[in-house]
Amino acid sequence: MTWLLIATGFSGAFTCLFIFKKIAHLFTTPRAIAVHFSPSGGCADALINEIHRARHEILVQAYSFTSKPISQALVDAKRRGVKVDIVLDGSNEREQYTELHFFIEHSIHPVIDSHHPIAHNKIMIFDSRTIATGSFNFTHQAEQNNAENLLILKGHPELVDLYKKNFAAHKAHSRAVQINTNAPRSHAA
C-alpha cells in the first residue's frame, strides 16, 4: 500500500510540474536566436514578421530608413494599436528616399538623435521580449545589394532591459524632426 501512495505522490508532483511549466510559458519567452544575412537573405522579411507579431510596443533606432515594406509594416502595427516609437539619425531629414515623411503622414512621429555625429544604431525591440539588431540598415539597398546581418534574440530579458535603457537614453537627448517641406517624398500613399 505504501508504494501506491508513493507512486500517487510522484505522479501528482509531475502533474504539478507540468502545469507550472505550461503557466510559466504563458508569461515568458523561450530563448531563441535567429540569424539572417543579405543580400536577399530575408532580413527584411524577418523584421516584418516580428513587426506583425508585436502586440504592445515596437521601439526602433535607425541610421537609414528607406524600406517601404518595413515602414508599411510599422504603420500597420500602429493602426492595430501597437505603440511605435522611432529614433532616427539626422541624415533622414536630408535623405531623398527616407520614409520619415511617410511615418509623419501616418501619425508616427520619429525623433532625431542629433546628439551624435552619426546615430548608427539598427535596432528594433518588440514587446519587451525580442531584440533585432545587426549591421542591417532598414533599407532596400541593405536587403537587395549589401552584405549585411541581422540577429533576432528572444527570451533574453537582461539584454532587453539594456537595450531599452539605451533606447531611452538616446530618445531623451533627441529632438523633434525639422522637416524640409520642399524635400521629395518617397513613399506612395
Q: Which residues form the catalytic set?
A: 120, 122, 127
Q: Provide the grid cell at 146.
A: 549589401
On whether the CB atoms of residues 73 and 108 are closer than 8 A, the answer is no
Sign of CA dihedral 82, 57, 98, 134: negative
Helices 43-53 and 68-79 cross at an angle (nearest 10°) of 0
DSSP secondary structure letter of residue 36: E
Q: Provide the grid cell at 97.
A: 528616399
Q: Which amino acid is at 33?
A: I
C-alpha distances (whole Å) from 97 to each of 68, 75, 139 are 10, 17, 10
On whether the CB atoms of residues 64 and 137 are closer than 8 A, the answer is yes
On whether the CB atoms of residues 145 and 79 are closer than 8 A, the answer is no
Geometric angle at alpha carbon 43, from 94 and 153, rounded to 5°: 105
